[in-house]
Each structure stands twice: as C-alpha cells, then as structure tokens.
A = this chain, B = another copy of it.
C-alpha cells in the first residue's frame, strides 16, 4: 500500500538554471485539511528520505519521522494536515535524473538541469497550490530540508506563517562542502558510474557504499561513538591477520549502514541533491543574509541546533536565528545537547519531541 500522491505540473516548470517539461511532484499527506485551509504543515526532507514521513491508514509502514508525526504526536495529525514532499531531483516519485525526459524518451541522467534547493522549494509551493492552500501554518525541514524550508520562505513570502528549521543553515560552509564534494567524487570515480550512464540494475555500488560510509561519519559524533563502540572488536577473534579485514565494531556498523543504502537511492539523484546543498546561500536572495531575510513574511520561527553537529554546526544556526530576529516577531533558538550529531533529530526523541511539541 502506498500513500503517495502525485501532482503532474501542467507545462514547463522553470528552475533556476533550466526548465523541466511537466515534471511530477510526489507527496504524502496525513490528517485532514481544515475548512479554513489554515492547518497545513509543509515538510521538506533531508537528502535521502522519501515523502513517507509517517505511517497512515493508506500506508501503515513506519515513516522516516515516525516518532514525530501522527495522532497525538508532536506534529499532531489530529490537528494538522501534514504535507511531506519528495524533493524534486530525488527518486521516490518526483521527477529527477533517474526519470524519463519526455523530450527524448530516455532517462535524464546528466541532462537534468543543475538542481537548486530553490527548485525543490518551488515544487513544494506547487503542491500547496494543487491542494488549494494559500498559506501553510508552518513550513518545517531538517538538514537539507531546513535549508529548503528557508528557501521557501524567501521565494514565497507569506505562503507560510511559521518556519521550523532543524540542524540546517543559511548557507553551506567550506568544511561541509568539502565533505560532500568528496562524497560526490567518490561516486563519480567509481568506474561503474560511466559518466552517469550506468545500468540502473548495477551502477556505482562501490562508490555509493563508500560515500554512504563517509555520510554516516559526518551524521553522528565522535562522543556518541566513543560511548557506543569504544575499542570494541568486531569479533571475539584477534584481529584478522589479513591486514585489511574489519577489526573494530565501528567498522561493522558502517558496513551495515552502507549495505542498507545500496539499491535504495539512485546515484545521479544523490549527486544532484548533494551539490544543491553546496550551492545554496540564502544571501543570494538579497545581496546579504540580512537583506534576504528582510523579505520573509513570518510570524514565528523556531531554529534548532545540536551541539555535537559538526556538519551543520550550532553556531551557524544561532547565526540564522539572529539574522531572522529583526524581521520575525517571535524567534526562538534552541541549542540541544544531544550527542548524536547531525542525525539527532532522527534519534534523540527525548530532546527533540518536547522541542517540536512545544512549538506546535
């Protein structure tokens, strides 16, 4: 069973650096839209999740934010109409590099235009149009989704009353750019990538596995792993005498995560979405961040950062909250002491649930 709904755009969809002909934008909804259409919570996702944010009668499988969204949960679907969009450029229903280009009847692959987070935000706005929602109650996003949510408020002022930005940033800094650039290069250097023209049944599996391992290293924190793994050995055996077997438990953990990722995500889509994060800079929408943010028409904003996040460090999120403050009446910045790093919003529910529930 699937709760996935699809909107096919009628005609051209103008991206910042290209045009798509009638793309599909996939989304899921939970709860019911109020008669006044004033209870919509629009959610943009991180790089890898689908639109399946939580279980529903139409799709009872657990979603990627199952603990946060549902009846009587912090984002309470008995009160709110939750709309979660599969990012344009992704591969879970929305048009992306793995989709068929109607102009050529072959897959887009690298013919897909350069993707920007602004394009993903614009696709989200089209979903609101389609659902006849003039103004969302709140636009929410974590990680890449938080940057996209910010892009949404910049491109579509007034289309959301509120913003919740979690473990995101107003721009990518060089350390995060370096890490993502390296992940992309690892994929591109896999001989099986074939300049993007790989067989979809095979593709750059090794590159994707290695990029995922690097991702996992940047999504968690040294402190969490020291506590969780220490120097625990992967087996009761002494280290393999082959010089490059797996010695330590942390290596087994990465191996398991990498293996789970394979087949779940298209390599070209990954490359496009990853680069879109690097390219994003809210300041592009006004010359400076301050001028850009003067355009958002928000009543309230909640910015959440995590101390142990080194991919989207808390100081960048404090900066975002500070820059929003002159333009938004009610801005709250929460700096959480979770030890799980960037991924804390997915796992540290003891800290994240009250922070989100308090807002809603």
Give the distance to chain B from A117, nearest Cβ to Cβ, in Å. 14
Give the distance to chain B from A91, nearest Cβ to Cβ, in Å. 15
Within 8 Å CB of A135, what residues of B?
A: none
Stretch from A77-85, A118-126, A244-252 at the B interface: A244-252
Contact: B231 with A213, CB < 8 Å? no
Docked pose: A213 CA to B210 CA in angstroms: 14
Does chain B have a CB within 8 A of A281? yes
Option from B173, B175, B182, B225 in Cβ contact (under 8 Å) with A210? B182
Does chain B have a CB within 8 A of A313? yes
Does chain B have a CB within 8 A of A162? no
Option from B110, B251, B271 in Cβ contact (under 8 Å) with A178? B251
Within 8 Å CB of A230, what residues of B?
A: 173-174
Contact: A110 with B243, CB < 8 Å? yes
Q: Which of A184, A222, A243 has the most CB of B within 10 A?
A: A243
Contact: B178 with A247, CB < 8 Å? no
Within 8 Å CB of A115, what residues of B?
A: 243
**With A171-B231, A206-B189, A222-B173 known to touch, is A178 a contact of B254 (CB < 8 Å)?**
yes
CB interface residues, A 223-240, toward B, < 8 Å: 225-226, 228-231, 239
Closest B residue by C-beta to A187 = B244
Closest B residue by C-beta to A228 = B174
What per-residue 1/0 map shows which CB atoms of A208-230 lie under 8 Å from chain B?
00100110010001100110111
Contact: A226 with B182, CB < 8 Å? no
Within 8 Å CB of A313, what residues of B?
A: 222
Does chain B have a CB within 8 A of A186? yes
Docked pose: A19 CA to B271 CA in angstroms: 47
Stretch from A7-15, A55-63, A272-280 at the B interface: A272-280
Closest B residue by C-beta to A250 = B174
Does chain B have a CB within 8 A of A172? yes
Option from B222, B242, B278 in Cβ contact (under 8 Å) with A247? B278
Option from B114, B185, B231, B246 in Cβ contact (under 8 Å) with A239? B114
**With A210-B185, A271-B243 known to touch, is A174 a contact of B248 (CB < 8 Å)?**
yes
Does chain B have a CB within 8 A of A201? no
Docked pose: A213 CA to B175 CA in angstroms: 12
Closest B residue by C-beta to A246 = B181
Does chain B have a CB within 8 A of A17? yes
Give the distance to chain B from A199, nearest Cβ to Cβ, in Å. 17
Option from B181, B222, B231 in Cβ contact (under 8 Å) with A310? B222
Docked pose: A188 CA to B244 CA in angstroms: 9
Contact: A178 with B278, CB < 8 Å? no
Closest 3 CB pairs of A and B: A175-B222, A174-B250, A174-B225
A-B contact pairs, 25 of them (CB 8 A): A110-B242, A114-B241, A115-B243, A171-B231, A172-B231, A173-B222, A173-B226, A173-B231, A174-B229, A174-B249, A174-B250, A175-B250, A177-B251, A178-B213, A178-B250, A178-B251, A178-B254, A182-B213, A186-B186, A186-B210, A188-B244, A189-B210, A243-B272, A244-B271, A310-B310
Interface residues of A (CB under 8 A from B): 17, 110, 112, 114-115, 171-179, 181-182, 184-186, 188-189, 191, 206, 210, 213-214, 217, 221-222, 225-226, 228-231, 239, 241-244, 246-251, 254, 271-272, 275, 278-279, 281, 310, 313
